[in-house]
Structure 1
Amino acid sequence: MSKDEAHLAGLGYRQEFFRKLGLFENWAATFLSMNFISGIPVLFGFAMYTGGPQAAFSNWTMVGGFSFIVSLVMSEIAAAFPTAGGIYFWSYRLGGERWGPFLSWMTAWWNWAGWVCVVPGVQQGSTNFLLSALEIRYPDAAVLSQGWFSWLLTSVGMIFAVLPNVISQRILQLYFRFAIFIFFALFALYWIWFPIKASGNFQSREGVFNNFYNGINSGDEKQASDPYCWVVGVLFGAWVFYGYDASAHLAEETKDASSVVAKGMWMSTLSTWFLSVPTLIIVLFCIQDFDGIVSASYSNNWAEYLVQLVGENGAIGILSLLWVDSTCATAACFLSAQRVTFAISRDGVLPFSRYFRRLNRNKVPVNAALLVFGLSICITCAVIGSTVAFSAITATATIATNFSYLIPIAARYTVGRKTFHPAAWSLGRYSLPLGIIAGLYIMFLFVVLLLPQLYPVSMETLNYAPICIGIVTVVSTVGWIFPFGLGGRYWFTGPKRTIDEIDGSLKK
């Protein structure tokens, strides 16, 4: 066995994937999941009416910094336990014999639910780019405002996101390179073309850093205060800065995984933060008509920003590229959802797990991909009859994934503090203070993202994320208590195996 295979066997698993990926693919998995080039435009309109440029810049910078701390804490754990779908496995090992099975079960369900919601959320954001381009070109086309048409476009885009994840690992490597190329092509447009077009008509310093706008009160009276509006706007950055575990989900396909996975996590988060902050500043200084952006009626208000800045043809071109780029981001998120589905099925968490853990001859979990694809299509159906479904999907995905991170982080410094042995990559004496900061930040996000985002609160403006989170809580809890096929405490012992159980040819 290689060093990686021996480490994996010691953790209780047999090498099943081809292990040919390196630092680039591991870094790209998380970097593309975050993808700020598409992430900034997706919720740009939301950021403008939940605090305006001032709050958008502050929230983005703050969230990026705290997210980097979370990525460091998770990297330390990932270096010690480099397994696919690693979050739930971390919880098992850190929880010990007493708490491990329960913590592992809960982490698996929350992490899986989060990633399954991420995929349709990102692709729906991608569809809004395409719809906006069509609305610019065909302003009188009534079909563009129909929910079923939006669902259809999202479903078609989802197919393109699935393909690189079901063919072969070689195709996946080529996809990563293509996606990074598209990303930096748009990055260059933001940095070069935008300032050129805005030349002579930039926003003033006061117009960016002192321009606060409270647009979440749609009634006759002001029910939500300015500080409340500012806090709600945290979703703008939180929707992009998460998914650190994408690197961990490729652990069993990565060479020298113990160190490479950790580097992929924190390097991708740090590079996203450092590159995105000045990009956001450029975008904010290039705003031409703030009131026009806030009051725009496109599927994504970013379209109005582009029309003002580069004209209709330029806006259509950039929106089309953003659709491609965001679909690539969906594929990266799909990869994580697929690998998590495979991993938790390997340990019997899902019903019919024996089907979803199977690999084809190219060592690809196709059945897991089909399950994620089917669920994503079903979740996207919500946009047919609801105007707030998109924000609910994004908030649910952000809450669920971040909460799944909190469980192993908390276990690392409580029940697992004496049994955890850091790998070669560790935080040393800074581990505990950084872990406390990471835990408090995630708890802050959990509360904030459940708050109403528009007032007065009605069936049309209600934040449905609490209902979605309640469903995840009930399903995971009931599945643990009652043995009706979901698993649970009656037979689920967690991912615990001996080497003999993995492969009879390997002796302990």
Structure 2
Amino acid sequence: MASAIESHGKAYRETEKDVQSHTTSVGSEQGVEMSRDEHQLATLGYKQVFIRSFGLFENWAATFTTMNFVSGMPVLFGFAMYTGGPQAAFANYSMVGGLSTIVALSMAEIAASLPTAGGIYYWAYKLGGIDHGPLLSWLTAWYNWAGWLTIVPGVAQGNTNFFISMLQIIYPESTLIRQGWFGWCISTMNILIGLVPNILSRQAVKWNLRLTAYSVVVLMAFYWIWFPIAAVQRNGFQPKSILTTFYNGINTEVDAEGKTIIQAGDAYCWIIGILFGAWEFYGYDASVHLSEETNGASTVVAKGMWTGCLATWLLSIPMLILILFCMQDFAGIVNGGYANNWAEYLVQLVGRRGAVAILIFTWLDGVLATGVMVLSAQRITYALARDGILPCSKTLSKLTTREKLPVNAAIMVVVLSIAINASVIGSSVAFTALTATGTIGTNISYLIPIVARQTLGRKSFTPAKWNLGVWSLPLSCVAIGYICFLFVVLILPQIYPVTPETLNYAPVMLSGITITALAGWFCPFGLGGRYWYTGPKRTISESEVRLARVKGDYES
């Protein structure tokens, strides 16, 4: 039996031969010029097929608007108030933001060296080497893909709760808007709108990224101007002690005397509240998935990742403090009856009409952000299909002739997202399960290449011009510790007592992802990935790369 190295070498030579025989590429003639971006991509094994139309701003905006704190923070504001209150919300959010920036830095170093659309799973293959790379790449691919597939409906559902809350303010007696199927219909509309720019044109994609970034800034300014004025006109600001106010609201069972039965202590409640920040700080790889469409990718993608995360952290903490000090009635917010208790906060502060106006604006911002989520999920779907990991790969990896957009991949993302979002019908915890699953799935996919970078790939990894230098190892260790801790926290029960209606289904969904990935790898009779997946497929031959002439560089 051939060794693993021999088998991989044979598969690689077959791929090389296939590329030379069947691919007409940019380097098929001796001396054909390539830009530095094209040449770097070619050395990584891929022919340039996308149009490089994005610059630093668009790449940065991909990560910045994925986090989108102006609508992302209010999504779980009510959750944060009953899982520790203002004290835990402020401390957890600040901590998670800082640690997430470290994770983004650790990933940015790898992205600078290996800028491909597949990103995370490609890194895992390269850093894992011939022996371990294929399996690590396979697992990373499935976790990352599943994570993004739950992020899209999770963001859409969180945004839908703003819309429904707005309707509840206007029509407080309506029972229609409280039905699960009604929320699903609104979410579906949101996802479909998010699909449009990603199948329309590259210019539409660019403007969606820009408009989403602009809407974040405008909405943030809106908060900073209106909230303090409204607070002065109402009951004034909260005292400094608001930052030390703790509340444990995850125990919902009462005894015969009407007293709450404490099943989860304050420390446990505090830890559960970490989801508030974790839901905000994720999706650092959004910039990575645009690598093959970005000019000066090696430096721009790295900058886009960590600066997008850092900007979110630095801008959102002051806004969280503003929100907490402008709070009017904490008890009313915790006990609010809206789809999202952020609506109760707004009604108290700016009145019913003001709340409706802000909720509409926030919903519109969320619709734009959903388009960014679809963009990232679309690109990772395309990359996986290009490397033959997904079913129907040939169809999913097709690009449109003129705009070079993976429309089929986008349609698949939307169909699956709409189906997944049906879980919110009849479930009070499906939304938090979606948010937790998306956060866990993507973070596990980040963990694998970061660990591989400092272990299996420590000697083989070649840092790019932009790198962390001596800080690489210590920052990676912090990132690894944080992701492992976050994994444990996000699979814990979030409400007590635990019943089928309150169960945290994130571990169930994560188990399903893991079982699917492992089954796909170990499936017998030559069907499993271990028989045929030897890593990302080359789409350009080494001889074409060797003969190509590099014609210049892009400024970043």
With normalisation by structure 1, the TM-score equals 0.98
SS of residue paired to 2:388: coil
Deviations 1:230-277 (A, max 9, x none): 000000000010100000000000000000000000110000000000
Identity %: 59
Contact between 2:208 and 2:372, CA under 8 Å: does it hold in 1?
no
Correspondence 1:415-430 to 2 at 5 A? 415-430=456-471
SS of residue paired to 1:337: helix
Partner of 1:10: 43
Partner of 1:243: 283
Contact between 1:61 and 1:277, CA under 8 Å: does it hold in 2?
yes
- 1:135 aligned to which of 151, 162, 168: 168
Correspondence 1:107-506 to 2 at 5 A? 107-199=140-232, 201-206=236-241, 208-220=242-254, 221-361=261-401, 362-482=403-523, 487-497=528-538, 499-500=540-541
Distance in 2 between residues matched to 1:384 and 1:212, nearest whole Å: 32
Contact between 2:43 and 2:542, CA under 8 Å: does it hold in 1?
no
Deviations 1:13-64 (A, max 9, x none): 0001000110000000000000000011000000000000000000000000
Distance in 1 between residues matched to 2:215 and 2:467, nearest whole Å: 34
Q: Per-residue deviation at 1:104? A: 0.4
- 1:47 aligned to which of 71, 80, 85: 80
Correspondence 1:75-90 to 2 at 5 A? 75-90=108-123
Q: Per-residue deviation at 1:386? A: 1.1
Q: Per-residue deviation at 1:179? A: 1.4
Change (3 A) 1:486 1:108: farther
Deviations 1:348-384 (A, max 9, x none): 1101111111101210000000110000000011111
Which amino acid is the alignment partner of residue 236 of structure 2? N
Which amino acid is the alignment partner of residue 442 of structure 2? T
Change (3 A) 1:68 1:31: same
SS of residue paired to 2:541: helix
SS of residue paired to 1:236: helix
Deviations 1:311-345 (A, max 9, x none): 00000000001111111111111111000000011
Contact between 2:146 and 2:438, CA under 8 Å: does it hold in 1?
yes
Contact between 2:69 and 2:280, CA under 8 Å: does it hold in 1?
yes
Q: Per-residue deviation at 1:4? A: 0.2
Partner of 2:15: none
Q: Point out the more displaced range, 172-181 or 215-224.
A: 172-181
Distance in 2 between residues matched to 1:504 and 1:79, nearest whole Å: 20
Change (3 A) 1:52 1:502: farther
Distance in 2 between residues matched to 1:322 and 1:332, nearest whole Å: 15
Which amino acid is the alignment partner of residue 337 of structure 2? S
Contact between 1:95 and 1:416, CA under 8 Å: does it hold in 2?
yes
Contact between 1:348 and 1:487, CA under 8 Å: does it hold in 2?
no
Distance in 2 between residues matched to 1:34 and 1:10, nearest whole Å: 32
SS of residue paired to 2:312: helix
Change (3 A) 1:246 1:486: farther
Distance in 2 between residues matched to 1:464 and 1:402, nearest whole Å: 17
Distance in 2 between residues matched to 1:65 and 1:269, nearest whole Å: 9
Change (3 A) 1:113 1:498: closer
Q: Per-residue deviation at 1:183? A: 1.4
Which amino acid is the alignment partner of residue 203 of structure 1? Q
Which amino acid is the alignment partner of residue 163 of structure 1? V
Partner of 2:258: none
Change (3 A) 1:297 1:102: same
Contact between 2:42 and 2:545, CA under 8 Å: does it hold in 1?
no
Deviations 1:43-86 (A, max 9, x none): 00000000000000000000000000000000000000000020
Partner of 2:70: 37
Distance in 2 between residues matched to 1:485 and 1:354, nearest whole Å: 20
Distance in 1 between residues matched to 2:528 and 2:369, nearest whole Å: 32
Q: Per-residue deviation at 1:484? A: 7.6
Distance in 1 between residues matched to 2:542 and 2:196, nearest whole Å: 34
Contact between 1:27 and 1:263, CA under 8 Å: does it hold in 2?
yes
Partner of 1:96: 129
Q: Point out the more displaced range, 87-96 or 480-489.
A: 480-489
Which amino acid is the alignment partner of residue 313 of structure 1? R
SS of residue paired to 2:530: coil
Change (3 A) 1:504 1:409: closer
Q: Per-residue deviation at 1:184? A: 1.4
SS of residue paired to 2:409: helix
Give the greater-gyration-radius structure (CA): 2
Q: Per-residue deviation at 1:174? A: 1.4
SS of residue paired to 1:385: coil
Q: Per-residue deviation at 1:497? A: 2.7
CA-based RMSD of the aligned residues comes to 1.5
- 2:55 aligned to which of 22, 25, 50: 22
SS of residue paired to 1:453: coil
Q: Point out the more displaced range, 478-487 or 440-449.
A: 478-487
Which amino acid is the alignment partner of residue 441 of structure 2? A
Distance in 2 between residues matched to 1:2 and 1:456, nearest whole Å: 60
Contact between 2:39 and 2:545, CA under 8 Å: does it hold in 1?
no
Distance in 1 between residues matched to 2:78 and 2:537, nearest whole Å: 47
Which amino acid is the alignment partner of residue 373 of structure 1? V
Contact between 2:82 and 2:248, CA under 8 Å: does it hold in 1?
yes
Stretches (4+) displaced over 6 A: 501-508
**Matched positions, count:** 507
Contact between 1:306 and 1:315, CA under 8 Å: does it hold in 2?
yes
Change (3 A) 1:181 1:131: same
Distance in 1 between residues matched to 2:249 and 2:366, nearest whole Å: 27
SS of residue paired to 1:288: coil
Structure 2 gap ranges (5+): 1-33, 255-260, 550-556
Structure 1 gap ranges (5+): none
Distance in 2 between residues matched to 1:472 and 1:113, nearest whole Å: 7
